[in-house]
Structures are given as C-alpha cells and as structure tokens.
Amino acid sequence: MTKLAGFLWLLQLLLLCSFAGAHSARGEEQLEALLDTETQLINELRDYIERMELQLEEIRKETAEIEEIHSQVAADNVEEHMGNPLNVLTILKRFETVWPKLEQQANATIQLSLREGLITQGELTLPTEEEYEESLSHLLHLQSVYELEPASLSLGVVNGLKLGSAMSWGDCLELARESDFSVARFWLETALNKLPGTSENSTESQRERERGRVKILETKLNMEYRAGEHSRALAAVEELILLLPKDQGYQKAKAKIEQAMANKELPKGKRRKSKRTKTQVTKSAEQLLIEELCRGAAQEATTGSRLHQCQLARNTPWTLLQPAKLEPLSSDPHIVLHHDVLTAKQAEQLMELMDEEEESAASRGVSYQPMKLSKLAQKKLKSVYRRLGLSHQAGESPNPWQGRRHGHGHATVLEKDSELGRGHAARGMLSLQAPGMGGAVVFPQLELGVNVPRGDLLLWHTRTAGGLGLGSASGHGSEWDYRSRQAVCPVLLGAQLSAWTGLS
C-alpha cells in the first residue's frame, strides 16, 4: 500500500508539471489580470467604506442634533414646548423628512429589512400628512394676523423674542407652496438664503445646495407663471437652464413663456384673456381692524387697559372682607376687568376639572375648542358670582359656565349674540391659563384689545339697558348692543384656557 501511494503521488506531480509547462505563458497573463481585478475591487471596497463612514457620520450627527432637542423638551415642560407653533411644526417636519431620510440611510448602510425599519414599525405613533398640512396652515394664519416676517420667523424669532428653533430651507419652501402669492415670494427668498453657502465645500453640501436651488426655482417658476408674472417666470426658467442646460422641459417652458409674453403685446382685441388660477380673498375693514388690535395687544406682556387705573369696591359683604380690584376699560358699553378673582392654585384646580368635549353638531365651526366643566367645577365657580356681587338665574341652564381652549389654529371671528344663550345682559370670561403671547379679547367697534391675565375675569354688557342693572327682569327687553361684539385673537405661544358665562 505504501508503494502504491508513492506511485500515485509521483504520477500526480508529473501531470501537474506538464500542465504548468503547457500553460505557463497563459497562466502568467491570467494571474496579472486577476491581480488587476483584485486591485480594482480593493479600491472600490475602500471607496465603499469611505461612503459608509460618511453615511454613518451623517447619521450620527443627525441623531445627536435630534437627541439634544429631545432632551431639552424632556427637561422642560412638555406642554409649554408643544404650545409653541414653531416647535410643533419642527417635530412634524422631522417625521416628514428627517426620520425617513435616516431610515433610508440606515437601510442602505446595514441592509435592514422593511420589518426592521426605524419608523415603519406598527406600534409607533406617527403624524399623518393631514396633521403636517394643518400645522403649516396654522403657522401661516398666525403670520397673516400678526404680520410676522418670514426671515425672522424662519429663525424662530417672533416679535423680537426667540421662541423656537430655526427652520430649514425645506421648511420655508413648504410654507411658500402653501402661502398666498403675496407672501410666497418672501418665503422663497428666505428658502434661498438658507441653502448651504459656497464656503461649505463638502460634496454633500454642494449637492444639497444644487438640489435645493432647483426645487426653489421650479416652485418660483410655477408660481409666477400661474400669477401671470411672465417676466419673473422667464428669469426663473433661464436660471434653471443655466443649472441644468440639458433639461428639455425647461427649454419647452421657456418657449411657452416667451409665446405668452408675445401674445400680450398683440394689438387690442387679439390679446388673450388671462385666467386667474387662484382667487385672492379680500379681508373686510372690520377683519383688518381686528388683526390690527391683535397685533397691538400682542406687544403688551401682561395687559390691562389703556386707562391703567384700578379702584377698590366694597359694595358687598364679601368685598368688605377682601376688596375687589376693578379696572374700568369702557363706560359705554360697560366693560371692566376684575383682577385676582382666583388664585393660581384655584385656577389650577379648575383646569384639572376640565375635559375635551366630544365633537357635536353644535361644536363644529366654532372658533375655539369646547371644554367640559365637571359638576364640581360648576359648583366652585358659583362663588365667583357671590364674590363679584353678581346675580345669576341658575334655572336658565344646568351648566352656566362653558370651558374654552384657544390655540394656534383657532380663527379670529366675531361671535354671535347667541353664543352663550339668548337673553343674557352681560358676558364674563374667566382666565384659567393665559397664553405666552396672543389670545387677547378684542372689541373692534371700540378699538379695544384686552389681554386677560390668569385668575382675572373680563365682564362686559351686551345690551343697552339704559341704567338697568344686571338681574333686572326688564333687561331681557333691552336691545342688543352691537358694540359689545368681541373676538379672541389666535394664540401665538402656548394655549389659553378659560371659562365663559352669560349673566342675566
């Protein structure tokens, strides 16, 4: 067996030698080719590793930024943070763009399956597209009412105060797409200014700058063309052609714009009638006055009235023990601000006894979110009548106080006389939580705006009783005073919780 094994080994060696001799020349060439291939694979693998490291570094950077913001929110009051419309938009925007981008990068980096995705897990609560669109609409409404400049708002600055984090160029572009034509231009200009600067020479920054500029110019092109501003549309498409000279779509758009401009210069009678694609809503003089009052009231931190005077009333047994602080705002119609009706602790207790009402036919279309006050809250609020020396016919309604929440998305509209029930001679608004900014009660016919501090009650007569006091039966026959119509300004920061009542 040993000799047989040795013979077989010798035979194998001879065969290998003959094969090597016959193919030595071709083997050397193949080996060189394989070495060249391996060199290319090594270089490609190194490039791949570098790209992976760049992706991981970008993921690490984005995660650190989100974690920093997240930790600040956790350290602060979450309710206070969410009361800022800029913060709400930023959070929704992260779920709209940042998190999907991170998931895509992570999938490309470590080959996660769809079931293992970061934000595709079924048990996570995620914002809907409608919520994001609603947040954009709310912010644009606040910008319109308070005349907030896009450049400052994009930095998180409102009326000179730093309220939120800065927006990205993508945020500004989204706001431009949702804005009216007159405002959209400013948002597009702000978006351009937020693109990465030419000083940032990284490949990623250069790509983002080029990609962002194309998107912004395309939006500008469509917006200006639809508005009939052909010269501005032509300037935008020419700039796009410089960026992407091979794009045939831009060449066709340029030809279409030039044709439209040529048709405008035809003799009268042959000129084509331009179609307006979007009808601009014209605000009434009263609505413009309301917004002006809202802006003026937003500048005052605590607010009282323009009179800035108080008086002590000792006309009831209750006020003899604890005199009431009254601030008259108007004599005709009678409007007065009662200070320190509730302590901060009492207001906090009442807020704990409030819940959101289920949506009903009566609650649809109102300019606030109805809040349900419990029976215990109604009982506690009865002391307010005694303290202020006001009469109230409790038999008219089992729940004389109505809770309201005003936030970012609530419109500023004048309320109807029957909002709190028919037949009342006065209204009262008791502030349980004052917003950080905005939320003033305005009377456009009187050119009066009032911020109601927490624990204070604003009282105003709604009927021309001609000397008849509250509680008089003949007050029902008096005429409604149109000057008492009021509206609540939209809240810029935080939320406003209040209790409203009608007095006979």
Residue 100 in this model has a pLDDT that exceeds 70 = yes
Indicate if the pLDDT at residue 263 is higher than 90: no
Percent of the chain with pLDDT over 90: 21
Helix (H) or strand (E) holding 19: helix 2-22
Q: Is 501 within 8 Å of 400 (Cβ atoms)?
A: yes
Structure token pair of residue 186: 């400013």
Does the pLDDT at position 14 exceed 50? no
Which three-class secondary structure state does DSSP give residue 355?
Answer: strand
pLDDT band (50, 70, 90) for residue 124:
low
Q: What is the mean pLDDT of residues 336-355?
A: 90
Beta strand ranges found along 56-110 (DSSP E): none
- Could you write out the three-class secondary structure of 273-301? CCCCCCCCCCCCHHHHHHHHHHHHHHCCC
Residues 332-337 have a mean pLDDT of 90
Exposure letters 339-365 (e unless 16+ CB within 10 A, then b):
eebbeeeebeebeebbeeeeeeeeeee
Before 196, cis peptide (omega within 30)?
Answer: no
Strands (E) in 226-366, as ranges, are 311-313, 324-331, 334-339, 354-356
Q: What is the DSSP letter of 196?
A: P
Residue-wise pLDDT tens digits, 186-227: 999 999 999 987 776 777 788 888 999 999 999 999 999 988
Whether 136 and 183 have beta carbons less than 8 Å apart is answered as no
What pLDDT does 271 receive? Answer: 42
Phi, psi of 463 (to 5 degrees): -135, 150
pLDDT of residue 475: 47
Question: Is a pLDDT exceeding 60 seen at residue 311?
Answer: no
Instruction: For the chain, list the domains and their CATH numbers.
Output: 55-264 (1.25.40.10), 286-356+369-503 (2.60.120.620)
Average per-residue pLDDT for the chain: 76
Distance separating alpha carbons of residues 217 and 233, to the nearest angstrom? 9
pLDDT band at 278 (very low <50, low <70, confident <90, very high): very low
Give pLDDT, residue 51: 76
Residues 390-407 pLDDT 10s: 655 544 444 579 999 998
| DSSP 8-state symbol, 164 | S
- Could you give the dihedral angle defined by the CA atoms of residues 417, 420, 426 and 430, in that order, rounded to the nearest 10 degrees? -130
Residues forming a β-bridge with 428 = 459, 501
Two tokens at 121? 């897990």
pLDDT at 150 over 70: yes
**pLDDT of the residue at 10:** 43
Q: pLDDT at residue 240 above 50?
A: yes
